[in-house]
């Protein structure tokens, strides 16, 4: 019987709550001038705009090094020298061979001219004349070959003196004095020189889902862990077409300018990049959800009316007891705010959403629900 009585009380409480009217309220927002922007984030690496790896085209032992890390160098400045002993020997040998070739050329020339005179007088055979002419022509070619050998030896000797190809700062020194370098297969790197550390760049990896919105000239802000309180500014200067796939993730490299007048940015730092793919400042805008609001008889009061209109985009205002639709032309949106090009004036209050609130009487009935837990009455508990 007690359980049956409880069910009856619960049923009566539900009927009572359903019989009470609910109160509907509306949230509004003012159409006002705002800034609309969208952005994407990525990570990248700080690099110098121009960076040159200085190597050597000849093999040998590093004899002298004239620069160190962070040394400022100028174009043409000698920064290292290889041991030139073998190269000087090769040059001397080539010069000696050239001298011998020139001597033989002088002899073959005189011999040819002599045979030519005798042949014209009919005193020697044509075979002897042709043989002398052939020897003379071979001597000319031998001299030319030896001249090329001398030039090559002189060039290799010049390669033993390493000079800076650009003005800049030495970022890396890969060798020490006394070390042997071999250029048989590849050119060994001796130094890495950055041209201008006040003009850096960020190479950022942008996901394939975001690369469609990135174009040259967009504003970029980025931070580095070395200076967490500083925000650096730049812009997109290049969107590279070559894709990189790693762990089934496709990314594209985007080059971002990074002015570095105070030299805080160092090569190799990781940058946390924000690229602003859309920026519109001081435009009339409303919350996007205002364009999705639609009144209906289920939420309006008995004395409220609805004035609708045929439009692809519209916002609603509550004027007295009338919900009035306003056809608007929309512009750009970032999902939260939408630009309004025409249809309403600045300062117009538009409805964004509605709230259904239970009446005070229903709240009181909920508080008196016998099935809700109640605080203990200490006075009653203390009665004997």
CA angle 326–302–15, rounded 5-degree value: 130
Query: Tokens 């099935």, residue?
Result: 371
Q: What values do phi and psi take at 150, rounded to 5?
A: -65, -45
Classify 39-50+193-279 by CATH class: mainly beta
Tokens at 219, concatenated: 């504003």
Condensed to tens digits (0 to 9), the pLDDT of residues 178-201 reads: 999 987 767 788 999 999 899 999
Domain positions in the chain = 20-36+284-367, 39-50+193-279, 57-83+160-192, 84-159
Residue 159: C-alpha distances to residues 61, 70, 82, 91, 187 (Å):
13, 24, 8, 13, 12
What gap in Å lies between CA 229 and CA 245, rounded to an integer?
33
What sign does the CA torsion over 329, 332, 337, 339 have? negative
Lowest-confidence segment of 5-9, 22-26, 44-48, 133-137 by average pLDDT? 5-9
Residue recorded with tokens 């020697």: 124
Architecture of domain 57-83+160-192: Beta Barrel (2.40)
Q: Above pLDDT 90, what percent of the chain? A: 70
**Helix, strand, coil content of the chain in percent (nearest 5):** 30, 40, 30
- Looking up tokens 């003009």 gives 199
Q: Number of C-alpha atoms within 13 angstroms, CB side, residue 189?
A: 11
> How would residue 374 be classed by pLDDT, with cut points 50, 70 and 90?
low
CB atoms near residue 56 (< 10 Å)? 21
Per CATH, which fold does 84-159 belong to? Helix Hairpins (1.10.287)
Average pLDDT over residues 213-237: 95
Lookup: tokens for 133: 């002419």
| Cα–Cα distance list, 363 to 93, 297, 300, 329, 366 (Å) | 110, 25, 22, 43, 5
Distances (CA, A) of 205 to 45, 197, 243, 322, 379: 9, 22, 10, 53, 71
- Bridge-based pairing of strands 270-287 and 32-48 is antiparallel
Residue 3 has pLDDT above 70, yes or no: no
d(CA 165, CA 54): 8
Look up residue 313 and give its two tokens.
């985009």
Q: What does the pLDDT look like over 85-94, one tens digit per residue?
A: 999 999 999 9
**What global pTM score does this model have?**
0.67
Given the structure tokens 């070390």, which residue do they identify? Answer: 179
pLDDT in tens, 76-112: 999 999 999 999 999 999 999 999 999 999 999 999 9
Distance CA 277, CA 298 (A): 41
**pLDDT given at position 98:** 96
- Written as six digits, the tokens of 293 are 């609001």
DSSP per-residue letters across 227-246: EEEEEEEEEEEEEEEEEEEE
Chain-centre distance for alpha carbon 95: 54
pLDDT at site 368: 46
CATH class of the domain whose range is 20-36+284-367: mainly beta
**Tens digits of per-residue pLDDT, 315-341?**
999 888 889 999 999 998 988 999 999
Q: Which residue has the tokens 């203990």?
A: 376
Integer Cα distance of 98 and 338 in angstroms: 83
Residue 28, both tokens: 């509004």
**Do residues 9 and 246 lie in contact, with contact meaning Cβ atoms separated by under 8 Å?**
no
- What local confidence, expressed as pLDDT, does residue 185 receive? 66
Quote the pLDDT of residue 319: 87
Grouping H, G, I as helix, E, B as strand and the rest as coil, residue 58 is: coil
pLDDT at 19: 42
User: How many other C-beta atoms can be found within 10 angstroms of the C-beta atom of residue 147?
Assistant: 15
């Amino acid at each position: 019987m007690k359980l049956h009585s409880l069910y009856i009380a619960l049923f009566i409480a539900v009927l009572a709550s359903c019989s009470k009217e609910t109160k509907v309220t509306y949230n509004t927002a003012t159409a006002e001038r705002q800034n609309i922007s969208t952005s994407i984030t990525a990570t990248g690496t700080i690099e110098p705009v121009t960076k040159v790896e200085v190597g050597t085209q000849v093999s040998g032992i590093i004899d002298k090094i004239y620069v160190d890390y962070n040394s400022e160098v100028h174009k043409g400045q000698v920064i290292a020298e290889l041991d030139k002993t073998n190269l000087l020997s090769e040059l001397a040998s080539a010069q000696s061979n050239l001298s011998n070739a020139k001597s033989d050329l002088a002899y073959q020339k005189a011999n040819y001219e002599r045979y030519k005179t005798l042949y014209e007088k009919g005193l020697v055979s044509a075979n002897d004349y042709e043989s002398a002419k052939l020897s003379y022509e071979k001597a000319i070619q031998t001299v030319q070959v030896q001249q090329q050998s001398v030039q090559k030896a002189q060039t290799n000797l010049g390669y033993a003196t390493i000079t800076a190809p650009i003005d800049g700062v030495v970022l890396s020194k890969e060798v020490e004095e006394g070390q042997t370098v071999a250029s048989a297969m590849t050119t060994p790197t001796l130094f890495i020189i950055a041209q201008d550390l006040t003009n850096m760049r960020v190479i950022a990896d942008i996901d394939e889902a975001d690369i469609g919105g990135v174009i040259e000239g967009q504003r970029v802000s980025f931070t580095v862990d070395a200076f967490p309180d500083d925000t650096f500014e730049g812009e997109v200067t290049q969107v590279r077409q070559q894709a990189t796939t790693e762990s089934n993730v496709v990314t594209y490299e985007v080059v971002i300018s990074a002015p570095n007048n105070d030299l805080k940015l160092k090569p190799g730092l990781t940058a946390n990049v924000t690229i602003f793919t859309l920026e519109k400042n001081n435009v009339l805008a409303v919350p996007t959800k205002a364009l999705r609001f639609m009144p209906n008889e289920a939420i309006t009061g008995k004395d409220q009316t609805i004035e609708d209109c045929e439009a692809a985009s519209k916002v609603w205002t509550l004027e007295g007891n009338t919900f009035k639709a306003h056809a608007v032309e929309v512009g750009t949106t970032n999902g939260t705010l939408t630009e309004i090009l025409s249809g309403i004036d600045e300062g117009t209050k538009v409805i964004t959403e509605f709230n259904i609130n239970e009446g005070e009487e229903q709240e009181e009935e909920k508080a008196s629900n016998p099935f809700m837990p109640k605080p203990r009455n200490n006075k009653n508990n203390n009665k004997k």
